[in-house]
Structure 1
Amino acid sequence: MSSSIEVKRLNSQDLGFKETLLSSLSLPTADDVAIDTAVVKILSAVKEQGDSSVLAYTKQFDRLNVSSVSDLEIPRQDLECTYSALANEQKNALDIAAKRVRAYHERQKSETGCHSWEYEEADGTRLGQKVTPLDRVGIYVPGGKAAYPSSVLMNAIPAKVAGVAEVIMVVPTPDGARNSLVLAAAYLAGVDRVFTIGGAQAVAALAYGTNTIPAVDKIVGPGNAYVAAAKRRVFGTVGIDMIAGPSEILILCDGSSNPAWIAMDLFSQAEHDEQAQSILLCPDAGFIAQVQESIDRLLPEMPRANVIETSLTKRALLIQVQDMNEACDIANAIAAEHLEICAEDPRKWAEKIRHAGAIFMGNYTSESLGDYCAGPNHVLPTARTARFSSPLGVYDFIKRSSMIEVSEAGAQTLGRAASTLAHGEGLQAHARAAEMRVSKSYGNYD
């Protein structure tokens, strides 16, 4: 590891800045075809051969050699025992996080149209919307390089708050290594069944079902490139939450913050993996230099220093802007997953933000608090998709059915309008169906 980290510096006034910025946000796609080809093969095998293919791929990729998929299921009582055996500090931390995530999503359910409603018109026609939870949901929890109990809470709790009857979790356990915090989180979140499988084969099993693993209605949760490709492929057979890319953080800073805090916040995303992206927007060139100095000083202390350095040198940006107004404009163009506003008046600048997965306001609101225990969901849109999509929430685990009950009086008015429009579209059966319910004075349609 070098003593000075080469983080790319940009200035918003440089010629071609916009083009350079946009190109820096994109990821290489050279491996996409190879990944997709491998995923198609796995999906097809699991769809056709079920449990036997799941076992074969689990042996191949996770080095687990068992005789049946049922051997890969962890009984719920084992989850409870794992939770009970945790050290008090770990147990308390999970309890706090689960309580806050549940409270936030219960409030979200009451505030964001997640309930049925109906109204009656003057002629007795009744219109409304029926909201029902999904029957069964699958959640994918990453394993391998790192374990994420927080992902269990963030995916399973809103599903349960929504009223999903059965939540099935899949998590890879390479070489049989199980993470106690992940299993304890599954117990706290109310996960119904847990299978120690991962990769595209786990996505296929959830989407198509096998003799042991029931098919679900929707698959949520992050994973590697193979998991993302598999989710993209099975969409339509099941619902999915989103196609998540590498993690991102964008920090808007007016120069009034502690530069070491900003450096560490940049690290907090860079340590996820080498493709993660960390960006700072600041009008103060001197402060940017202080952040760079903090990066160089603090990085050698980090256990995942090599991953952080690779991420920072390949994808990080330190950008000098004219002022905070311009920083907000650039932030809206980036549409980052995580957006921190470290400034003296963060809410002033937050009002100017239109596109971000989550907005963290003020110097004491580190993005890591949102990852674990603040309450809002940490499953967020990446790769500029915050321009048109939202964080995972209770609303992702419900569906809406339109409710229509037309009265006899209402059919007289609506029937005439529908008949006219249907004839205009050349759909005579549509018109006739409406006309037959209109009174005899309109015509004899018996």
Structure 2
Amino acid sequence: MTDTSVIRRLDANASDFSRQLDQLLSWESVSDTSVNQRVLDIISNVRQRGDAALIDYTRQFDQLDVQSMQDLIFPRERLEQALTEITDEQRHALEIAAKRVRAYHEHQQQDSWRYTEADGTILGQKITPLDKAGLYVPGGKASYPSSVLMNAIPAKVAGVNEVVMVVPTPRGEVNELVLAAAAIAGVDRVFTIGGAQAIAALAYGTESVPAVDKIVGPGNIYVATAKRHVFGKVGIDMIAGPSEILVICDGQTDPDWIAMDLFSQAEHDEQAQSILLSPDAAFLDKVAASIEKLLPSLERETIARTSLRERGALIWVKDLAQAAEVANRIAPEHLELSIADPEAMLPTIRHAGAIFMGRYTAEALGDYCAGPNHVLPTSGTARYSSPLGVYDFQKRSSIINCSRDGASELGKVASVLARGESLTAHARSAEYRIKE
């Protein structure tokens, strides 16, 4: 198997494959010292000066001549207006996507529960939504209405009382699709601020921006670094790495389809990762040819080409069982099972953010309108984390209601354990309730 000029070829059975795969997957969430210090300064300034700091940063970074926070607030009427500014086709697509996302996430709803033991003691769990959630949305020419739906709708389904969205409008550039998505998703308040200063405002609150309980949504290195620093004061969704796709194909899918599926992530940015596993070496050759043929047709060809060259790979495996082993080691954000019987393979897959079953299920459908959330664990974190969901906007409280008999029996156990830890007050507190 020879290398192409666009994407490397690997053999999963080569003696040094493990080392090669480690190098391929290597990615560090870097935030250099200057970025880190700048973010810390911004957070400190927002905490001390509140709205005044937000106004100053908006003038500086977004080049907007704002006089007060009122200039940085979009009322609900402005969101509704956006629905009339977009095309009928765009509105229809947003509404269908929102309906599907809402229906899927309604299945994630959990109910409080409890049970009663023989002695009358009641144990259980109470599910409570967060009071406020903050949603960061990139602004300007960037258009991510799908991210608005994917972040705001689960919060609303969870019962969050107030969803606060921040979206910068650099040089006054307003994205009507994003505002329309906010209207459809039920976002309650929108502030036209961005960057680390917006994250700080959501975390600590200002005179105008309410402090929230959790911050979700994608952003640049300043936003990601700020989310790291405010975590603990508030919850965050995740620190996301570059987009990823791993395709397992048996060699029977149209190679052009597979090439375009790989492009669907490669076009995000130069650090995105696209990998194909197949036991059919001739098919890998066909996909390599399709990549060469179709790459020039992309609007973001340069970005995709760099991504494929630096972080992409076509990997030969001896069979689908070995493909599953490699996939579990990678723990990809998106996994396509482009094979004849994906259901048969599904039990062997342990680690993946989202699994796309069969030849017709393009990853792109999950990005926009299939229904499941597109906010997914990256950089191997699917080994221990899950897609964003309703459960991210809820918390669980334990319920313990001991009967007299239950308190007496449990008190005896607690007493022994507490005294074993030399915690006398714990022991005596429990012992007071032991029946004579």
Shift in Å at residue 318 of structure 1? 1.2
Counterpart of 1:224 (choices 220, 227, 231) is 220
1:191-210: CA deviation from partner (whole Å, max 9, x where unpaired): 00011111111111100111
Shift in Å at residue 92 of structure 1? 0.8
Distance 1:176 1:5, change over 3 A: farther
In the other structure, the counterpart of 2:98 is 98
Alignment of 1:290-301 (within 5 A): 290-301=286-297
In the other structure, the counterpart of 1:212 is 208
TM-score by length of 1: 0.95
In the other structure, the counterpart of 1:370 is 366
In the other structure, the counterpart of 2:356 is 360
* Cα distance in structure 2, aligned partners of 1:225 and 1:30: 8
In the other structure, the counterpart of 1:284 is 280
Counterpart of 1:119 (choices 83, 95, 115) is 115
* Cα distance in structure 2, aligned partners of 1:246 and 1:118: 42
In the other structure, the counterpart of 1:203 is 199
In the other structure, the counterpart of 1:405 is 401
SS at match of 1:164: coil
In the other structure, the counterpart of 2:67 is 67
In the other structure, the counterpart of 1:316 is 312
Residue 42 of structure 2 is aligned to residue 42 of structure 1: yes
SS at match of 1:27: coil
Distance 1:78 1:20, change over 3 A: same
Runs of at least 5 residues in structure 1 that lack an aligned partner in the other structure: 442-446
In the other structure, the counterpart of 1:272 is 268
| AA matched with 2:95 | D
| AA matched with 2:62 | D
In the other structure, the counterpart of 2:241 is 245
**Identical columns (%):** 63
1:287-335: CA deviation from partner (whole Å, max 9, x where unpaired): 1111111111111111111111121111111111111111110000000
Preserved CA contact (<8 Å) 1:279 1:316: yes
| AA matched with 2:48 | E
Preserved CA contact (<8 Å) 2:98 2:185: yes
RMSD: 1.3
SS at match of 1:416: helix
SS at match of 1:230: helix
TM-score by length of 2: 0.97
1:191-249: CA deviation from partner (whole Å, max 9, x where unpaired): 00011111111111100111110100000111122211111111100001111111111
Q: May I ask how many residue pairs the two structures share in their alignment? A: 433
Shift in Å at residue 61 of structure 1? 2.0
| AA matched with 1:39 | V
In the other structure, the counterpart of 2:180 is 184
Distance 1:306 1:152, change over 3 A: same
| AA matched with 2:304 | I
Residue 283 of structure 2 is aligned to residue 303 of structure 1: no
* Cα distance in structure 1, aligned partners of 2:376 and 2:29: 22
* Cα distance in structure 2, aligned partners of 1:314 and 1:63: 35
1:171-194: CA deviation from partner (whole Å, max 9, x where unpaired): 122211111111000000000001
SS at match of 1:421: helix
* Cα distance in structure 1, aligned partners of 2:277 and 2:375: 24
Preserved CA contact (<8 Å) 1:358 1:380: yes
SS at match of 1:108: coil
In the other structure, the counterpart of 1:261 is 257
Preserved CA contact (<8 Å) 1:282 1:320: yes
Shift in Å at residue 145 of structure 1? 5.4
| AA matched with 1:150 | S
* Cα distance in structure 2, aligned partners of 1:11 and 1:88: 49
| AA matched with 1:129 | Q
| AA matched with 2:244 | E
* Cα distance in structure 2, aligned partners of 1:104 and 1:5: 42
| AA matched with 2:219 | G
* Cα distance in structure 1, aligned partners of 2:5 and 2:51: 48
Of 357-366 and 409-418, deviating more is 409-418
SS at match of 1:237: coil
Shift in Å at residue 14 of structure 1? 2.1
Shift in Å at residue 86 of structure 1? 2.3
Shift in Å at residue 155 of structure 1? 0.3
1:420-442: CA deviation from partner (whole Å, max 9, x where unpaired): 11111111111111111122x2x
* Cα distance in structure 2, aligned partners of 1:252 and 1:224: 31
SS at match of 1:54: helix
Shift in Å at residue 55 of structure 1? 1.8
Shift in Å at residue 28 of structure 1? 5.0
Shift in Å at residue 157 of structure 1? 0.2
In the other structure, the counterpart of 1:444 is none
Of 145-154 and 367-376, deviating more is 145-154
| AA matched with 1:108 | Q
Runs of at least 5 residues in structure 2 that lack an aligned partner in the other structure: none
